[in-house]
Chain A
Amino acid sequence: MKLLKLVPDDTNISFLWWRVPFFAISVLLIAVSWALVLTKGLNYGVDFAGGLEVRATFTQSEEAPVVELRDQVEALGYGSPVVQRFGEDNQVSIRVRLPDEVSADKEAAQQAANDIVDTLQAEYDDFRLDGNDNVSGKVSGEFRQTALYALLAAMGAIALYIWIRFEWQFGVGALFALFHDVSLTLGMFALFQLEFSLQIIAAILAIIGYSLNDTIVIYDRIRENLKKYRKMELPALLDLSVNETLARTVMTSLTLLVALLPLLLFGPASLFGMVAAITLGLFVGTYSSVYSAAPILVWLGVTSDSFVPTESVADEQEKKARGLV
């Protein structure tokens, strides 16, 4: 039986030859992402912005009356709602960011939710309430804070671990790759104004974990090769390491992609944003492992010394191995 090989055996691509332009592109993309986040802003969902979200299905209709809904909810005087298709054509999500004076008054915020549901239930016979989120400004503020802490703590703790297991240069490289991935994901969410919720934070942490898998596999090989080929030029050694692990990188990305695609295409609508973020992160993460995490080592001046035992220790080990001690 002939087995499938996605990467031919003797593949040797000079990844590192292009390190300057690609790294420049990475830095540029990070800058653009943050510019987008700062100018366009993130489209916060109720988790982070507070307010209320009503999800409903119009069971007897082909399509939900999106335009009419917008007017009807707006007429209630709680500000202008965001009405979106959600899943099927006859499903909608109605998001209202309550005016400050309403959201400050806890009873009024409850009243607003009831008002909207009651009005729509009276208006449409086939209105089925699927769900309803109501988050006060206080709680959403706490969510924003803990989300930020979680991201920073995860990045810090992981960089620290890599530093301990490898060398500080590797920690810096991994941290930069993570920062790259998080930035680009945020940038995409700002550019397309996708709803940014707690689920997206979970997705970003999953991306961090995944992107790190790739980085670690490549770093592990670099460490191994540094010990093995002590005289090799660093860029050549990095290229060799990336190429040797390329088959694994491609294969793993592909298995993860085929696992995620069905969930993205016909999974639950409430998971779409999260799965889309992880899928996006899959590409960004793989790219950053090859083009950010590895080249940084050239500039930070990694040498083989840190991983190779000194002469005397090496002698001792050799003796031990020969059974002399």
Chain B
Amino acid sequence: MLDFPTWRKIWLWLIAGLCVFAALPSLLSATSIRWPDALPQPMVNLGLDLAGGSHILLEADAAQVAAQRLENMEENVRKTMRSADPRIRIGDVSTRDGRLSFMLDDPGQVDRARELLLPAMNGTGLVREWDMAVEDGNRMVLTPTQEGTDQAVSDAMESATEVVRKRIDELGTREPTIIRQGDTRIVVQVPGLQDPDQLKALLGQTAKLEFKLVDQNALPSDVQQGLAPPGSEIFPYVDTSDFAGTSLAVRRLGGIRGDNLTGAQQSFDPQTNEPVVNIQFDSDGGRRFAKLTTDNVGKPFAIILDDKVLSAPNINEPIRGGSAQISGSFSVETANQLAISLRSGALPVDLAVIEERTVGPDLGADSIKRGMLALGVGSLLVIALMIVSYGRFGVYATAALGINVAMLLGIMAALNTTLTLPGIAGFVLTIGAAVDANVLINERIREERKRGRRVIAAVENGYHEASRAIYDANITNFIAGVLLFLFGSGPIRGFAVVLIIGLFTSVFTAVTLTRMWVAGWLRKAKPKDIVL
């Protein structure tokens, strides 16, 4: 029990030394001493609750993805049937109940239609995306499969995450963390952000830009009541528009979407000096935009952003250059924001902020200061109590405690974990609980001496008998810590991480290291009696 061969001593010192070494960069960062650049730089990250910053949880509307898929399929079916040779006439198209159904005018064309649509049922991936069925002889029903919808949601989330990343990069914030969470969520963490409102406004903007022809046949009275003529749909004007409060009927199909942009900048209208956004289409988008404007000269078309009408100018002449100007009662700020959103691409799905936590940098710095002070005072009190109660053995426990704290910090740095505000409480708790092992051992040694055992035997027995309870207690604490880590979120995880790592370092320092020191002392001094 008290036998420590040299190789074992070297091992123990090496482990302790490495962990403490890993803690140095984090400790020195609080002082003016510079850590040499040539050496590894493990650092403990500060959580947002200590460093200041914003944590934003975004959730996508999965139902919207499904609806969009249905709409795309409808367009696809119409196009396929129209361009079939001979043309297949269809009617009574419906997208109710999350499925697409339509009637064939000629039931004899069912097999032909099925053949034409078959490639669209299996998407690009390996999963079957749609089920096709024929009802009553001439009604075709296309139902999206669960796998297909899941795949679509997953794809949408992947590109949404990318768009979010681009937009945050445009803000120039340092080291943002953007992670997908679960099926439909994205966590965004931005340290030290000054203006979270700007970020939220930017992330909340889907930036779905559409150009659609105005339905001039719609009765204004019907439109204001929300009654759309067949083939049209109704959108309200944006709140900042002169027409705010009123709505506009536009043709449902045949418009184009502003997905294929190569650029977008905030600018000013040369005539009115109003803030506007200039956009440039890619070649494909430019061609389609040119066709739309050429075919409809003299007619008004609506510029629709996120289902709200920005403006509905007349097409005075065909626009062939591949660029366009969007006006819509912008301020410089909102025009700039829209330009960023369009540049980084539209979000494939609406994202809503469902949780937001922001901490100012002043409060975080204050928390660290108070936390460290409390930690220092608490440690001193524990040390005093240990030395007064256990003398030499208390000094060993104190040394172990110091190494324990440094090792804990070092391992956290090496694993690149995050120290949060509750994590500071975890440090304090670890300090309070780590000496428990020493208390158990020392009390046991006292007892063994009282029963008349000789010094060496008493110390041996003390360590041996106490370790059972120490291990059991640490394992149960480990169970509680792991569950806390699994179920907890953000700052609470930071608490769990400190507790769990602290269990390992405490056993190592409070049991193993002190035993090594005590053994060395017993061997050298050969005391006849110990003061305990």
Q: Which residues of A contact B (CB under 8 A)?
A: 1, 3-6, 9, 55, 57, 106-107, 110, 113-114, 128-136, 138-139, 143, 146-147, 149-150, 153-154, 157-158, 161-162, 165, 198-199, 201-202, 205-206, 208-210, 212-213, 216-217, 220-221, 224, 244-245, 247-248, 251-252, 254-263, 265-268, 270-271, 274-275, 278
Contacts of B472 in A (CB 8 A): 165, 216, 220
Tell me how many residue pairs across A and B have CB atoms closer than 8 Å. 232
**B360 near A131 (CB under 8 angstroms)?**
yes
| B290 interfacial contact with A, CB 8 Å | no
**A251 near B443 (CB under 8 angstroms)?**
yes
**A154 near B357 (CB under 8 angstroms)?**
no
Q: Contacts A153-B483, A199-B422, A271-B424; is A136 near B355 (CB within 8 Å)?
A: yes
Complex Cα spacing A6 to B388, Å: 11
Q: Contacts A216-B472, A251-B439; is A202 near B492 (CB within 8 Å)?
A: yes
Complex Cα spacing A251 to B388, Å: 12
Q: State how many angstroms separate the Cβ of A87 from the closest Cβ of chain B.
A: 9
| B435 interfacial contact with A, CB 8 Å | yes
Complex Cα spacing A160 to B60, Å: 40
**A212 near B476 (CB under 8 angstroms)?**
yes
**A255 near B435 (CB under 8 angstroms)?**
yes
Q: Contacts A133-B357, A268-B366, A268-B424; is A255 near B382 (CB within 8 Å)?
A: yes
**B366 near A202 (CB under 8 angstroms)?**
no
Chain B window 426-459, contacts with chain A (Cβ cutoff 8 Å), 1 for yes, 0 for no: 0011011101100110010011001000000000
Contacts of B367 in A (CB 8 A): 268, 270-271
**B429 near A106 (CB under 8 angstroms)?**
no
Complex Cα spacing A146 to B495, Å: 16
Apart from the given pairs A3-B531, A252-B440, 6 other A-B contacts in the complex at a CB distance below 8 Å: A139-B355, A143-B489, A150-B488, A202-B422, A213-B436, A245-B443
Q: State how many angstroms separate the Cβ of B53 from the closest Cβ of chain A.
A: 10
Q: Which residue of A lies closest to B397 (CB)?
A: A255
Contacts of A165 in B (CB 8 A): 472
Q: State how many angstroms separate the Cβ of A27 from the closest Cβ of chain B.
A: 24
Q: Contacts A147-B487, A270-B421; is A131 near B354 (CB within 8 Å)?
A: no
**B429 near A206 (CB under 8 angstroms)?**
yes
Among candidates B204, B428, B435, B473, residue contacting A110 with C-beta atoms closer than 8 Å: B204
Q: Which residue of A lies closest to B532 (CB)?
A: A3
Q: Which residue of B lies closest to A140 (CB)?
A: B355
| B197 interfacial contact with A, CB 8 Å | yes
Among candidates A209, A224, A248, A265, residue contacting B477 with C-beta atoms closer than 8 Å: A209
| B377 interfacial contact with A, CB 8 Å | yes
Contacts of B487 in A (CB 8 A): 146-147, 149-150, 153
Q: Which residue of A lies closest to B477 (CB)?
A: A209
Among candidates B357, B391, B422, residue contacting A131 with C-beta atoms closer than 8 Å: B357
Chain B window 59-102, contacts with chain A (Cβ cutoff 8 Å), 1 for yes, 0 for no: 10000000000000000000000000000000000000000000
Tell me if B's interface is mostly helix, strand, loop or mixed. Answer: helix
Complex Cα spacing A274 to B492, Å: 11
Among candidates B370, B450, B476, residue contacting A266 with C-beta atoms closer than 8 Å: B370
Among candidates B353, B360, B480, residue contacting A205 with C-beta atoms closer than 8 Å: B480
**A110 near B443 (CB under 8 angstroms)?**
no
**A209 near B481 (CB under 8 angstroms)?**
yes
Q: State how many angstroms separate the Cβ of B7 from the closest Cβ of chain A.
A: 29
Interface size on B, residues (CB 8 A): 77
Contacts of A216 in B (CB 8 A): 469, 472-473, 476
Contacts of A157 in B (CB 8 A): 479, 483
Q: Which residue of A lies closest to B48 (CB)?
A: A131
Q: Which residues of B contact A (CB under 8 A)?
A: 49, 57, 59, 196-197, 200, 204, 352-360, 362-363, 366-367, 370-371, 373-375, 377-379, 381-382, 385-386, 388-391, 421-422, 424-425, 428-429, 431-433, 435-436, 439-440, 443, 446-447, 450, 465, 468-469, 472-473, 475-477, 479-481, 483-484, 486-489, 491-492, 495-496, 499, 531-532
Q: State how many angstroms separate the Cβ of B36 from the closest Cβ of chain A.
A: 33
Contacts of A114 in B (CB 8 A): 197
Contacts of B433 in A (CB 8 A): 210, 213, 252, 256
Q: Which residue of B lies closest to A158 (CB)?
A: B476
Complex Cα spacing A262 to B377, Å: 6
**A3 near B390 (CB under 8 angstroms)?**
yes
Complex Cα spacing A110 to B204, Å: 10
A selection of 27 A-B contacts at a CB cut-off of 8 Å is A4-B388, A57-B363, A106-B353, A110-B353, A132-B356, A134-B356, A149-B487, A150-B487, A154-B484, A158-B480, A201-B488, A202-B422, A202-B492, A209-B499, A212-B476, A252-B435, A255-B386, A258-B432, A262-B377, A265-B374, A266-B373, A267-B371, A267-B373, A268-B371, A268-B424, A271-B421, A274-B422
Q: State how many angstroms separate the Cβ of B354 from the closest Cβ of chain A.
A: 4
Among candidates B436, B479, B492, B495, residue contacting A161 with C-beta atoms closer than 8 Å: B479
Complex Cα spacing A297 to B113, Å: 78
Residue from B356, B465, B481 having most chain A Cβ neighbours under 10 A? B356
Complex Cα spacing A212 to B471, Å: 12
Complex Cα spacing A268 to B421, Å: 8
**B355 near A134 (CB under 8 angstroms)?**
yes
**A255 near B432 (CB under 8 angstroms)?**
yes
**B352 near A1 (CB under 8 angstroms)?**
no
Complex Cα spacing A134 to B469, Å: 44
Q: State how many angstroms separate the Cβ of A106 from the closest Cβ of chain B.
A: 4
**A266 near B378 (CB under 8 angstroms)?**
no
Contacts of B476 in A (CB 8 A): 158, 161-162, 209, 212-213, 216
Contacts of B431 in A (CB 8 A): 259
Q: State how many angstroms separate the Cβ of B389 from the closest Cβ of chain A.
A: 5
Would you list the 5 A-B pairs with minimal beta carbon distance, nearest first?
Answer: A259-B432, A150-B487, A256-B432, A258-B381, A268-B367
Contacts of B388 in A (CB 8 A): 3-4
Among candidates B59, B386, B477, residue contacting A212 with C-beta atoms closer than 8 Å: B477
**B360 near A130 (CB under 8 angstroms)?**
yes
Q: State how many angstroms separate the Cβ of B439 from the closest Cβ of chain A.
A: 5
**A275 near B378 (CB under 8 angstroms)?**
no
Contacts of A256 in B (CB 8 A): 429, 432-433, 436
Complex Cα spacing A114 to B388, Å: 55
**B378 near A134 (CB under 8 angstroms)?**
no
**B378 near A263 (CB under 8 angstroms)?**
yes
Complex Cα spacing A110 to B199, Å: 12
Contacts of A149 in B (CB 8 A): 487
Q: State how many angstroms separate the Cβ of A288 from the closest Cβ of chain B.
A: 15
Q: State how many angstroms separate the Cβ of B303 from the closest Cβ of chain A.
A: 22
Q: State how many angstroms separate the Cβ of A142 from the closest Cβ of chain B.
A: 9
Among candidates A107, A224, A267, A270, residue contacting B465 with C-beta atoms closer than 8 Å: A224
Q: Which residue of A lies closest to B366 (CB)?
A: A268
Contacts of B435 in A (CB 8 A): 252, 255
Q: State how many angstroms separate the Cβ of B183 from the closest Cβ of chain A.
A: 14
Q: Which residue of B lies closest to A160 (CB)?
A: B479
Complex Cα spacing A265 to B366, Å: 15
Complex Cα spacing A106 to B381, Å: 49
Complex Cα spacing A1 to B529, Å: 13
Q: State how many angstroms separate the Cβ of B422 from the closest Cβ of chain A.
A: 6
Contacts of B196 in A (CB 8 A): 132
Q: State how many angstroms separate the Cβ of A9 from the closest Cβ of chain B.
A: 7
Q: Which residue of A lies closest to B368 (CB)?
A: A268
Complex Cα spacing A110 to B433, Å: 43
Residue from B367, B390, B429 having most chain A Cβ neighbours under 10 A? B429
**A198 near B488 (CB under 8 angstroms)?**
yes
Among candidates B352, B359, B447, residue contacting A244 with C-beta atoms closer than 8 Å: B447
Complex Cα spacing A259 to B432, Å: 6
Q: Contacts A132-B356, A206-B429; is A150 near B436 (CB within 8 Å)?
A: no
